[in-house]
Amino acid sequence: MEKAKNKYETWDWMKALFIAIALAFIIRTFLFSPIVVDGASMQPTLQSHDRMIVTKIGEPKRFDIVVFHSPTESKDYIKRVIGLPGDRIEFKDDTLYINDIPFDEPYLEELKQDVMGPLTGTFTLRETAVGSDVVPEGHLFVLGDNRPYSKDSREIGAIPIEQVVGTTNIVFYPFNEMKIIDK
């Protein structure tokens, strides 16, 4: 009798362990996963070695922070969405214009105070690696917040939406820097 009880108990533990592993796999693959920020391209918004949660649900929106597979390297990048498919992007006098409408970038204010001269150089989308007047269908135009030190769509071109892993706005480590980033 004791042997049968132990057998059922072991079987119950094995089922519970299997279910836990399956749930963890499903959650990490399809819903959320952690990422570590590597580099200074998103400063001051994000610091190198910040740990964040990536949400894999939904389409990226303008000014969301996204994680995507680099089209030129075997690593992931983290940048901010500036242009959506069909948008005409231009920077002049350190001001972002989307479809000829000026946009504020409040997440850059702190950095603009520390930089002598313009933070973002003047350019049109055609003058970047995108090479067209508008962001191509099925693509995004992304920039790092630390514009002088960011390898982004200006150099690597528009990012195919299918290369986007997800969006992120939750820093969970270091614990004393935990925050939710509001665009």
- Where would I find the beta strands (DSSP E) of the chain? 32-36, 51-55, 65-69, 76-83, 89-92, 95-98, 101-103, 123-124, 139-143, 159-160, 164-173, 179-180
38 CB contacts (<8 Å, ≥6 apart)? 48, 49, 75
Cis peptide bond N-terminal to 174, omega within 30: yes
Of the listed 5, 7, 33, 41, which one is catalytic? 41
Token pair, residue 114, equals: 């520390």
Contact 166, 53 (CB under 8 A): no
Of the listed 79, 132, 150, 151, which one is catalytic? 79
Note if 70 is an active site residue: no
**C-alpha closest to that of 98 among 83, 120, 118, 79:** 83
Note if 79 is an active site residue: yes
Residues with catalytic annotation?
Answer: 41, 79
